[in-house]
Amino acid sequence: MASDERVAGGDVVLAIDQGTSATKAVVVTDRGEISHRATVPIHQSYPQPGWAEQDPMEIWRSVQRAVADVLSEAHPRRVLAVGLSTQRESTLLWDRNTGQPLGPLLGWQDTRGAGLCAKLRTDGHADRIRETTGLPLDAMFSASKAAALLDRHDPDRSRSSRGELCLGTIDSWLLWQLDGRHLIETGNAARTQLLDISTCRWDPWLLDVFNVPLPALPQVTSSTGPFTTCRDLHPSLREVPVTGVLGDSHAALFAHAGWTGGRVKVTYGTGSSVMGVTTTEVKQAAGVARTIAWQLGEPTYALEGNIRSSGATLVWLARLLNSTPGELAGAAASDSQGVFIVPAFTGLGAPWWDDRARAVIVGLTDSTSREQLARAALESIAFQVEDVVAAVEHAGGSVRMILADGGPSTNATLMQLQADTSGRHVRTSPAAELSALGAAHVAGLGAGLWSIADLDRVSRTGADYRPNPADTSRHERLHDWHTAVTAARELPRQARNQP
């Protein structure tokens, strides 16, 4: 696959995937395939309901360690370029002069900005925010987190207005650590709810309503840069450039060759992201967000829905039942016997976008078993994914195939359940580190190592799951699931109305 235009002396790409629970590093050959890998776990803390925090310096150290580990088994002087894939929406604030973070990073699950979002909704700003950013007004996105950080550390906005403080997402933080430049990649910027996605520029009106000063924000740049070198990452990489940066879900879509129509990518993890490129202009998309997948020249737009709890539902249930997620998934019954779990622990994401919804279990009887609860937890993942896929299809055209990745996608029971629930073909990825692979592919493009045509020829054959043609109860199960979702959304309202 290697191009004649490659830079002399290098023929592999190093990619880093900085996620919520771990940082991964991979070396990708000039054939577009992973040859070496390393993983470093990182901690998360939940100091009170609705808060999710991480230590920015621990994240940076995990990146350095993952890179050192993977390069201990691969020749570092063969690295031509570096790519980054990062968790999105997570936001932090640091001092421009010292480079030190001002407090913890607020994770993407953090909803402490929900009060500001509610006020902006009451003030009638939700429609304009969605029209400009493509995103529903929700505390998951970075803008309300940025406001919360500034309210605590710069309440009068004096320091941030003078540019003494830096706001950024994880890609901004890592690029800053590499050589002190304050940058953000376009697709990540599109997830802040401060970017006008039609112009790829920070929007003055949005900055005003969220009270975020422009001098605190990074410079927006395309997915292939220009970025920076890896000066402070590893001694052998000081002159190696970063030539590709993507949000993690965007990177997974790219690794799936998701630029092809009629398919959506589903990344199964703590939460789940459902994303598909749209080739037509979509102004309104009920239940899902319009976003920028990547920018290689002109921006490529996508439709996406985010699910707040998918793999996390099994983690919760395992903790409740003194088990492990793997044990529960393996022990799941073949039928939940009418039990439904709606995992609205911090509200519901797409396509409902209801912060006030609360988790419920519907259909319990005195004979309900742990195996049936495990089945209901798996089904909650498949039902939520199908709701978002249906919304993407409604907004952007027919969806014939689901491209699955992430840890839970290795569970054959879940993948067959997804195919049966959706009535669509499901294909899994053979690579576990798909977001890192997508970042490597974009970095290779940026470095001239290969072309899109080359990447089209990369083997992506995983396991295939097709819906059972004898299954006639799919629509009935979806109807019962939606009844349970209604209960999750109405129960808090009914509680507030009690005398």
User: What's phi and psi for 54, nearest 5 deg?
Assistant: -140, 160
Identify the bridge partners of residue 277 per DSSP, sorted by sequence position.
Answer: 302
C-alpha–C-alpha distance, residues 243 and 223, integer Å: 8
**Model pTM?**
0.85
pLDDT in tens, 447-462: 998 888 888 877 777 8
The strands making up 272-277's β-sheet, listed across from edge to edge, are 289-296, 298-307, 272-277, 263-268, 401-405, 425-428, 464-465
Ramachandran area for residue 425 (φ above 0: left; ψ -120 to 50: alpha; else beta) = beta
Contact between residue 307 and residue 272 where contact means Cβ atoms under 8 Å apart: yes
Tens digit of pLDDT at every position of the chain (499 positions): 443 333 445 688 999 999 988 999 999 988 878 888 899 999 999 999 889 999 999 999 999 999 999 998 877 778 999 999 999 999 999 999 999 999 999 998 898 999 999 999 999 999 999 999 999 898 989 999 999 999 999 999 999 999 999 999 999 999 999 988 999 999 999 999 999 999 999 999 999 999 999 999 999 999 998 898 888 888 888 889 999 999 998 998 999 888 877 889 998 888 898 998 886 666 667 788 889 999 998 999 999 998 989 988 999 999 999 999 989 989 998 899 999 999 999 889 889 988 889 999 999 999 999 999 999 999 999 999 999 999 988 887 788 899 998 888 889 999 999 999 999 999 998 777 888 999 999 999 999 988 888 888 777 778 999 999 888 888 999 999 999 999 999 986 666 555 5
Residue 259, token pair as written in the block = 């630029």
HEC states along 394-451?
Answer: HHHCCCCEEEEECHHHHCHHHHHHHHHHHCCEEEECCCCCHHHHHHHHHHHHHHCCCC
**Among candidate residues 437, 459, 449, the one with its CA nearest the CA of residue 14:** 437
C-alpha–C-alpha distance, residues 332 and 374, integer Å: 5
C-alpha–C-alpha distance, residues 424 and 304, integer Å: 18
pLDDT in tens, 19-57: 988 999 999 988 878 888 899 999 999 999 889 999 999
pLDDT in tens, 223-242: 998 898 888 888 888 889 99
For residues 174, 179, 182, 185, the Cα torsion angle rounded to the nearest 10 degrees is: -50
C-alpha–C-alpha distance, residues 477 and 483, integer Å: 10
